[in-house]
Structure 1
Amino acid sequence: MSSAGAHRRATVLVGDVHGHRAKLVSLFENLEREIGAERLSTSRVVFLGDLVDRGPETSGVLDFIASLPAVHPSMEVRILGGNHDLGMATFCSLWRVDGGMPPPEGYVARRKEPPLWVDATDKNEHARMHLQGRRWGAFEAGTRNAFDSEATFASFGVDPGDPRRREALLSSLPESHAVLLSSLEFVVELDDVEDDMHPEVNKLIAVHAGLELERPIPEQLEALRERVIQQRWIEALQGRTNVGRPANVGVNVLVASGHHGILKTDGKWLVVDECAGLDERQLAAVVLPERAVVKSH
């Protein structure tokens, strides 16, 4: 680690964890070694979304992150929601939904998926559930779930094929996990951020998949700050081709995202998602202002 950044407050951007607790623990051990225990403990840590699914230990990941304020009381922890987190949170009814709940008549998935989840009880919860929650909770033997959420159910000791899997998951979900998931942000905005590559930068805007390129920035930020769910596809979480760093966002603004399955550390759109939930890849973080890349073992 260069001496230039050693005494400045660090901003640590952590890529998509996707249920890999062992990698997350390893990453924090390496961060402590690389930037020092004191600097890490007083840093601003931004998780870029997609805490859940794919990996085997979603429950352990949520335990680790929920414990950070007690372990590091001087650390500022900010946590973005990703599209996987959106699926789990809406399946568990942890996020307020203002629209886009039932799938449109004749809804057809963009790729082969299990049929949308249907409540096996007499409560008919699926009738009020956001589309992404129903997709997240779907299961059919021989068909891959769109979110790979089977691993998350299993991490809580729930059989994803159980017709009453929602009730089983809710009864197994610790209160600390529910609080964490219900408080995830759609945008994290930080002032006084330094970037050695771009001295004019003094602000960070972090969104899971990037801002929409054509939509006015103030309009986007207002909706993201309020965490309004009024549509079936939230572009800033989904990451289609119309997201990234808009040209008119401001020369002083650094945009950070996860989601895209790559590690991109050049320019003013940082993408930190080297792991992408894959067993064979390392979990990465980028440390500002020096843009140091730190990875799990």
Structure 2
Amino acid sequence: MSEPPKTRAVICVGDIHGFITKLQSLWKNLEGSLDRSEFETATLIFLGDYCDRGPATRQVIDFLISLPSRYPRQKHVFLCGNHDLAFAAFLRLLPAPADGCGFSEGWREYEASEEREGWFKGEGYEDMHLQGRRWSGKIKVKFNTVKGTEYQGSIYDAGPTFESYGVPHGSADLVKAVPDDHKKFLADLVWVHEEDDVFVNTDDGVKCCKLIAVHAGLEKGKDVKEQLKLLKARDTRVPKVEALSGRKSVWDIPEELTASPAIVVSGHHAKLHVEGLRLIIDEGGGYKDRPVAAIILPSMKIIRDTDELAK
């Protein structure tokens, strides 16, 4: 295979879920995997889900906030994951619905789950986005049969996030405990990111592609331009954003993008899946015994926090 043209490296980092030591080890391994100049000028796309499950959400966000000043020649993109959206919703950081209706309009579609999921009913809940209420609620069913683990407070496993800021799960005091720079970080997260002219090694040689990064993926059977428009606008009229939280509906690349060609990269799915130009980089899935992974383009090399490169 011929050498790809010299171009900026693009590194896509999978879900971190509050594991600061994994993030630090992954970062060292990424740094050791590229020439110094390549790493210092790389584009870093973080695929979302910085909070919940792991014990150190606060430290993870501190680390991410520090990157632009520590690595001023890099480009940093921070995508919003479904967990991050819910965290931001609880802190009342989401933009208001464009139609002028309150967030409470979105509760109705899912209210059959309110009792089982124990939606938050504390201070400020009256006009909170649905996912904020679910995130901070106290789930009645304690065991997650799909994951084979105990829920950590809520359907989102948000308990460790509260604790990392020094308040108990479900406490309205979290709003005061989260520093302003963390609130700004969460408020500024983008729901989708596009890059032009990204090079990638394929079985057919080196291709120059458009790259679309979105936490879960794009829906098949729905107009891609319209999806991108709503994601760029961060349309909070929708109580459950499929591109941030869907599963089967967003697994594949929409057919209209296959002729372009376009890379679609996501995290979210608790899997490492690289098939053609569909990249799903979430080997960790928030499990403490699984690695956090990243992929480097154009080489398509997978780097994990557990690699021995940093030693």
TM-score by length of 2: 0.87
Question: Offset at 1:254?
Answer: 0.5
Q: Aligned residue for 1:70?
A: 69
Aligned-partner SS, 1:152? helix
Confirm or deny that 1:203 pairs with 2:202.
no
Aligned mates of 1:140, 1:48 — CA distance in 2 = 27
Unmatched 5+ stretches in structure 1: none
Q: Look up the match of 1:296.
A: 305
How much has 1:170 moved relative to structure 2? Answer: 1.7
CA shift, 1:5, in A, is 6.0
Q: How far is 1:112 from its partner? A: 4.1
CA contact under 8 A between 1:52 and 1:84: conserved in structure 2?
yes
For 1:116, give the aligned amino acid. Answer: W
Give the direction of change, closer, same or farther, for the CA distance of 1:69–1:205 in structure 2 (3 Å limit).
same
Give the C-alpha shift of residue 142 in structure 1. Answer: 6.9
Pairing of 1:261-280 with structure 2 (within 5 A): 261-280=270-289
The secondary structure found in structure 2 opposite 1:119 is: coil
Aligned equivalent of 1:43: 42
What is the letter of the counterpart of residue 13 of structure 2?
Answer: V
Q: CA deviation at 1:106?
A: 7.5
Please report how far the alpha carbon of residue 240 of structure 1 lies from its aligned counterpart in structure 2 after TM superposition: 2.7
Q: CA shift at 1:231, angstroms?
A: 1.2
Partner residue in 2 for 1:234: 241
Q: Which amino acid aligns with 2:194?
A: E
Residue 220 of structure 1: aligned partner: 227
Q: What CA distance in whole angstroms lies between the structure 2 residues aligned with 1:51 and 1:190? A: 22
Deviates more, 1:204-213 or 1:244-253: 244-253
In 1, the alpha carbon distance for the partners of 2:221 and 2:85 equals 23
**Which letter maps to 2:248?**
T
TM-score in terms of structure 1 length? 0.91
1:119 equivalent among 119, 122, 137: 122
SS at match of 1:202: strand
Q: 1:195-225 deviations in whole A, cap 9, x for unaligned? A: 1116344210011000010110111011111
> What residue identity is the alignment partner of 1:231?
V
Root-mean-square deviation (CA, aligned residues, Å) is 2.1
Amino acid at match of 1:260: H
Unaligned 5+ segments in structure 2 are: 143-150, 307-311
- Kept in 2, the 8 Å contact 1:7–1:39? The answer is no
| Preserved contact between residue 116 and residue 139 of structure 2 (Cα < 8 Å) | no
Identity of aligned residues (%): 37
What's the secondary structure of 1:28's corresponding residue? Answer: helix
Distance 1:140 1:248, change over 3 A: closer
Bigger shift: 141-150 or 36-45?
141-150
After TM superposition, the runs of 4+ consecutive aligned structure 1 residues lying more than 6 A away are: none
Partner secondary structure for residue 184 of structure 2: helix
Maintained 8 Å contact 1:194/1:289: yes
Q: 2:192 aligns with which of 187, 192, 197?
A: 187
